[in-house]
Amino acid sequence: MLKKFLLGLLLALTFVSGALYLVGSGLLGEEWGAAPVASGPRPAQQAVSVRAVDTPWRAGSRLPGDSPQILFGDLHNHTNYSLDAYLFNTNLVKGGGIVTPADACDFARYCSALDFWSINDHAEGLTPRVWADTVNTIRECNAAAGDPAHPDMVSFVGWEWSNSNRDDVPSHYGHKNVIFRTWEEGQTPARPIAAQPQYMLSKVPSVLLGLAGLTDGVAATADLGRYMRESRETPACADDTPSSELPVDCREVALTPRALYRKLDEWGFDSMVIPHGLAWGTTNPLGADFRDQMAQYEQRYQNLLEMYSGHGNSEVFEDFQRIAETDTGERYCPQATARFTPCCQQAGVIAQARCGDPASVECAEQVEQAVRDFLEQGDPAGRALFADATLDDWAGCGQLRNTFQPSSLYVPRMSAQYNLALGFDGGGEPKRARFGLIGSSDGHQARPGSSYKESNRLLYTDSKDVGRESISTDFYKTDKESGGFYYTGGLVAAHTKGRHRDAIWEALSNRHVYATSGDRMLVWFDLLNGPGGPVPMGSEVVLRETPRFRVRALGAFEQRPGCPDYAIAALGVERVQALCGGECYHPGGDRRKAITRIELVRIRPQVRPDEKISPLIEDPWRVLECPADGGGCEMEVEDPEYGGSARNALYYARVIQEPEPLIAGDPFGCDYDAQGQCVRRNYCVGANAKRDNNCLSEAEPRAWTSPIFLEYPR
């Protein structure tokens, strides 16, 4: 009887495994591609004349083609052509269904009403077929935009190059978006350039992938399996052949930024490479240092830095260490700072709280042992030492606190301020990165510019319905709160002369851009006494005399509920609900949100390789409080210390808007006591991350200008 039962069980398991394999292998699947883009008109242009600072733009106005304008865009967006996006959007994880570049085009035009955007699926998973489909969709999207000299929207084509070597810190070059100025036939690369021969997610076993069929259906899962098999079976290109001479049907690989730049040079098309996510500890080594990348940095390609996205803010440098070492290599637990507590310190706190007599010698020994054990395990793996400890027991350790929407597991020596303060590479050779600062979404739902309303967390952010811990790798099992650090994302604002492609590209190339946390604030930042007269943000100027700056800002328009008539006319009611979530960028009236203050930051880059970074960053250097009437704010300021210091300096403005409820405005979800101390944390994960909970908390939206770089004459 037992033998028959075991035999029956074996046959049942074999049948189930075979069925799951058949579904997950893609043998039953079909190829899928982008549908045609919608082509209805979008009459209202979200642009603002620089000359109209005192008479803000009103809906429906049109500017001459060569007028100075501020245009808003998103240069980082993924569709299901990125395998991680495909898996995230399954019902098993989050839901949302299949989304393609055509959905992204329609969303950018009608839901978020962007002026420009870019597609950036992961090159490591893209196949020749879907790359061709991506380029074709971008051409269709631009063809539907109207007069090329004054289009309603400009769509750029590109990909993401993702180097994620977490084990070897010096060879970890992070994630970079490659974007091209042109998209016409013969003016784009025949294939994207990846950072690795095969995408990690394409190696998911077919049987495990087949399980997705239980929630998403056999057909959808089989289609996913087919695409993953297609990705696996794309052969690597020969490494010794110029890019332009390689066959179309292979995966081109560049293992380092220098190799990537060489291949882009071989194509010869105008392009830019934009690093992002540098301070994210979820994808970067926690001990990473941008100094190690400086030898591979090239200004002609890496002119911009995506400092803010839906994965957090990478602006500030806080000089902390998670685990420190003596000169002899012995590990010890460093002290906490005002914004950071090492988890090795908190391990001691947890151990002491569990002592019967916290004042006893025995308890002190247990605390010391807990700290030693944590140091041996490392961060975040050491958190597994207390298997029953709650997120609140860890008290926000290991995370950057008391700052605006930070990236999770913050890596301080990859932050924007640290990068801008460096003057030398890892070998001690003079080298500087002069980045312009931008924001974008980095969304994986084909919804660029999804920051116009804080109303639909699962649709507008990369949050998962079930909380990250239930679908995590071993790394995240010790870092469950990271799933709460997802935001609606940012935008890049460009000061342009016209709406057309070349005007936008020129502004991006010249760093005449600023980042916003999502709201469409209007910001101007100028050096008034440049050698040839006033120059805007992003400029590099040789100057000996005292610099004089002016910064002006207007808050974003308040939003009306729903969508404008033109979006409904173009997409229809059902698609507006499905694609836009029933909400669109929909400014109403003249009321602008108030700018509460402007903060200027001064950074004086290193003049010696061993010069400490922290004293070089003055944040804030100057602060102006603004009237709370929504009428904007303006300030002028000089730096009389510049000439006396006889050293280079850079300055940027941070514009702060009035507080409002934001999705993960406080990612810790703090309950505060009367003294303003966080006494309980409610991260937006697990039970707190239910589908109907937007995890709103009050925060101050903001914008960051690109720096003005002053070079002291030698």
Lookup: tokens for 311? 């994965």
Specify the pLDDT at position 599. 98
**3-state SS record for 70-90:** EEEEECCECCCCCHHHHHHCC
- Say if residue 188 is in the same domain as residue 146: yes
Report the pLDDT averaged over residues 229-237.
Answer: 87
- Say if residue 286 is in the same domain as residue 352: no
- Say if residue 379 is in the same domain as residue 501: no
Mapped onto helix, strand or coil, the DSSP state of residue 461 is coil
Domain with 604 in it: what CATH number? 2.60.40
Is the pLDDT at 476 greater than 50, yes or no?
no
- Say if residue 261 is in the same domain as residue 343: no
Domain with 82 in it: what CATH number? 3.20.20.140
Is the pLDDT at 469 greater than 60, yes or no?
no
Amino acid (1-letter code) at residue 693: N
CA 230 to chain centre: 28
Q: Domain for residue 632, yes or no?
A: yes
- Say if residue 481 is in the same domain as residue 431: yes
Specify the pLDDT at position 181. 98
Mark which of 235, 257, 288 sits at the end of a domain.
235
Report the mean per-residue pLDDT for the chain. Answer: 89
Q: Domain for residue 105, yes or no?
A: yes
| Position 697 confidence tier, pLDDT thresholds 50, 70, 90 | very high
Q: Among 56-60, 81-85, 400-404, name the most confident range.
A: 400-404
Give the separation between CA 79 and CA 93, rounded to whole angstroms.
Answer: 16
Cα separation of the two ends of the chain? 93
Give the separation between CA 108 and CA 115, rounded to whole angstroms.
Answer: 8
Cβ pair 213, 23 in contact under 8 A: yes
Nearest 5°: the CA angle 505, 128, 180 is 5
Report the pLDDT averaged over residues 60-78.
Answer: 79
CA 280 to chain centre: 9
Number of domains in the chain: 4
Q: Comparing 341 with 232, which gets the higher pLDDT?
A: 341
Q: Domain for residue 596, yes or no?
A: yes
Select from 494, 503, 566, 542 the least CA-distant residue to 649. Answer: 542
Give the separation between CA 52 and CA 49, rounded to whole angstroms.
Answer: 5
The per-type count for the chain, helices as H runs and strands as E runs, is 18, 31
- Say if residue 528 is in the same domain as residue 629: yes
Specify the pLDDT at position 160. 97
Half-sphere exposure of 227 (CA within 13 A, CB side): 27
477-494 CB burial, b ≥16 within 10 A, e <16: ebbbbbbbbbbbbbbbbb
Mapped onto helix, strand or coil, the DSSP state of residue 524 is strand
Characterize the bridge pairing of strands 540-542 and 535-536: unpaired
| Position 474 confidence tier, pLDDT thresholds 50, 70, 90 | very low
Cβ pair 92, 213 in contact under 8 A: no
Mark which of 362, 394, 426 sits at the end of a domain.
394
Q: Domain for residue 539, yes or no?
A: yes
Is the pLDDT at 62 greater than 70, yes or no?
no
Torsion of CA 332, 333, 338, 343, to 10 degrees: 150
- Say if residue 160 is in the same domain as residue 22: no
- Say if residue 606 is in the same domain as residue 698: yes
Report the pLDDT averaged over residues 16-22.
Answer: 68
- Say if residue 303 is in the same domain as residue 380: no
Mark which of 394, 429, 451 sits at the end of a domain.
394
> E-strand spans in 13-142?
48-49, 68-74, 116-122
Lookup: tokens for 610? 């061993």
pLDDT by residue (tens digit) across 596-643? 999 999 999 999 999 999 999 999 999 999 998 888 999 999 999 999
Report the pLDDT averaged over residues 186-199.
Answer: 89
Q: Domain for residue 38, yes or no?
A: no
Torsion of CA 357, 359, 363, 368, to 10 degrees: 160
**Residue found by looking up tokens 């033998």 in the block:** 3
Is the pLDDT at 556 greater than 60, yes or no?
yes
Specify the pLDDT at position 475. 40
Give the separation between CA 594 and CA 478, rounded to whole angstroms.
Answer: 41
pLDDT by residue (tens digit) across 671-691? 999 888 899 999 999 888 887
Report the pLDDT averaged over residues 498-523.
Answer: 97
Range of the domain at 215: 1-30+198-235
In Å, how far are 76, 101, 186, 424, 455 from 108, measured between CA atoms?
A: 12, 10, 26, 40, 17
- Say if residue 291 is in the same domain as residue 434: yes
| Position 168 confidence tier, pLDDT thresholds 50, 70, 90 | low
What is the value of pTM for the model shown? 0.94
- Say if residue 131 is in the same domain as residue 269: yes
Q: Domain for residue 41, yes or no?
A: no
Is the pLDDT at 148 greater than 90, yes or no?
yes
- Say if residue 9 is in the same domain as residue 131: no
Q: Domain for residue 567, yes or no?
A: no
Select from 59, 76, 62 the least CA-distant residue to 489. Answer: 76
In Å, how far are 396, 510, 560, 708 from 530, measured between CA atoms?
A: 46, 16, 42, 11
Is the pLDDT at 462 greater than 80, yes or no?
yes
Q: Domain for residue 475, yes or no?
A: yes
Is the pLDDT at 473 greater than 60, yes or no?
no
| Position 31 confidence tier, pLDDT thresholds 50, 70, 90 | confident
Q: Comparing 46 with 446, which gets the higher pLDDT?
A: 446
CA 623 to chain centre: 27
Torsion of CA 517, 194, 258, 542, to 10 degrees: -20
